[in-house]
Amino acid sequence: MTSLPPAVRRLILATLVNTLGNGVYAAVGALYLTRAAGLSVAHVGVGLTVAALVGLVTSTPLGVVADRLGPNRAYVGFLLLQALTMTALTQVRSFAPYVVVAGVTAIADSGQRGAKGALIAGLSPADQRVRTRAILRVATNVGMGAGMGLAGIVLAVDRREVYVIALLANAATYLVMAGLVRFGMPEVDKVPSAGGPSGLTALADRRFLAFVALDGVLTMHAALAQVGIPLWVATATDAPRWMISVLLVINSVAVILLQVRVARGTEQLSGAARAGRRAGLLLAGACVVLALTDTTSGVVTVGLLIVAALFHVLGEMLQSAGGWGISFELAPPGAQGQYQGAYAMGRQLGDLVAPLLLTTVAVSWGWPGWLLVGALFLFAGLLIPGVVAGHRANAEERDLVVS
């Protein structure tokens, strides 16, 4: 930590504060909407889907905004907007206002992702960007875990006014984070409209978009941990249901302890591409092990689930580190914001597709479904190095032509 620039350490502190509030909301948000705001489960689902689509469409254009305004100003602006939408959520009583708030929240969230990536790129030396991302991910896991623990108090009381306090507390963490970024942090240069890449360069970069799509397949590991494996354990195995919590704890603790170490060597394109390939292999391996639990029972199933969880979390950490390294390195000068925004589209696509894929294919079909999902992970991981190498060759060829 001491080797990091002071501004990066400040960003880590801000992330801890903000994710503490996010963790509380992650645990109580759905219950607030259905129990306190009076929305149906179906309406909540529609709102989340609309928000996901809005975030997907706006991610890259808002990254351009971060490049033009400067990452600091854009990031602070989107954080303030998130504080506003979280506050507005406490006043939601019906479906239409909820959809509006969810959509604006998605815009703010997409915008801050691109701005944050550009801010990290500007504040950190090139060889420290991935390490910074890794440390921020550790801070996120710590903050989210602590927040989810605190949410137990809210859930135990289960009263509207306590839910509202929880949401307002989360809104306050966005204000604190905005203040920490706005004051005492050096400004990262903005890109004049007459300089740097013009328009939505990232969306015209076909090889980068190919990487984004492949990386998006790998990011389905998030839904695998949160949806696929829990449903599989509960409905298709004889393992005790408390194993779901054990597997989630294994994941969280491993990320906290190992993410920074796993990220080493991914600052360069070659190392980042290898990490993507290994991530695909490990995630595919996790699916194969899960397929085996379709025919086992007792302690054997429990042991296999732990092995699958270890394969999964190693693949998750490698995917994260490799994706960060590639997204930073492939962005041309002056376009970190929009490239980070485009990079986030992969995760957004994965989040949209993965729950349906995992529930209808893996969980419903059993071992054949798990093998099919594993093949998708394997396919994506194996293709990433070639796509990255081709992008670098094309970039070098363009540079020669220009010179």
Give 45-65 pLDDT, tens digit per residue: 899 899 999 999 999 999 999
Looking at the fold, whether 131 and 206 belong to one and the same domain comes out as: no
Q: Answer whether residue 195 is part of any domain.
A: no
Asked whether residue 392 carries a pLDDT value surpassing 80, the answer given is no
Asked whether residue 286 is domain-assigned, the answer is yes
261 in any annotated domain = yes
**Cα 172 from Cα 86, distance rounded (Å):** 9
Ranking 172-186, 189-203, 204-218, 374-388 by mean pLDDT, the lowest is 189-203
Per residue in 341-360, pLDDT (tens digit) is 999 999 999 999 999 899 99
Decide if pLDDT at 365 tops 70: yes
Is the pLDDT at 134 greater than 70? The verdict is yes
Q: Does one domain contain both 148 and 228?
A: no
What predicted TM-score, i.e. pTM, was given to this entire model? 0.90
> What is the band of 199 on the pLDDT scale with cuts at 50, 70, 90?
low
Query: Is 85's pLDDT higher than 70?
Result: yes
Do 268 and 120 share a structural domain?
Answer: no
Among candidates 315, 306, 255, 263, which has minimal Cα distance to 285? 315
Residue 1 falls within a domain, yes or no?
Answer: no
| Domain assignment of residue 172, yes or no | yes
* pLDDT at site 4: 76
Res 201: pLDDT: 87
Distances 78 to 86, 370, 391 between C-alpha atoms, Å:
12, 39, 31
State the average pLDDT over residues 94-121. 95
Which residue did the predictor score with more confidence, 199 or 105?
A: 105
Among 121-125, 366-370, 392-396, name the most confident range. Answer: 366-370
Mean pLDDT of 281-301: 97
Q: Give domain status of residue 193, yes or no.
A: no
**Domain assignment of residue 190, yes or no:** no
Provide mean pLDDT across the span 252-270: 96
Higher pLDDT, 191 or 342: 342
Whether residues 230 and 371 share a domain: the answer is yes
Shared domain check, 221 and 154: no
Q: What is the mean pLDDT of the chain?
A: 92
192 within domain boundaries? no
Q: Nearest-CA neighbor of 269 among 392, 377, 382?
A: 392
C-alpha distances out from residue 55 to 58, 133, 346, 388, Å: 5, 21, 11, 25
Quick one: 138 and 208 in the same domain? no
Average pLDDT on 221-245 reads 94
Which of 65-79, 133-147, 185-199, 273-287 comes out lowest in average pLDDT? 185-199
Instruction: Identify whether residues 177 and 237 lie together within a single domain.
Output: no
Name the band, by pLDDT with cuts 50, 70 and 90, for residue 189: confident
239 & 144 share domain: no
Q: Which domain holds residue 285?
A: 201-402
Over range 17-21, report the average pLDDT.
96
Position 394 confidence tier, pLDDT thresholds 50, 70, 90: low
What local confidence, expressed as pLDDT, does residue 59 receive?
94
Domain count, the chain: 2
* Segment 333-348 mean pLDDT: 92
Q: Is the pLDDT of residue 194 over 90?
A: no
| Residue that the structure tokens 């691109």 belong to | 114
User: Confidence class of residue 397 from pLDDT cuts 50, 70 and 90?
Assistant: very low
Q: How many CB atoms lie within 10 A of CB 377?
A: 25
Give the CATH number for residue 333: 1.20.1250.20
Whether 98 and 220 map to the same domain: the answer is no
Q: Are residues 248 and 290 in the same domain?
A: yes
Do 248 and 389 lie in one domain? The reply is yes
Please say if the pLDDT value at position 223 is more than 80.
Answer: yes
Same domain, 219 and 350: yes
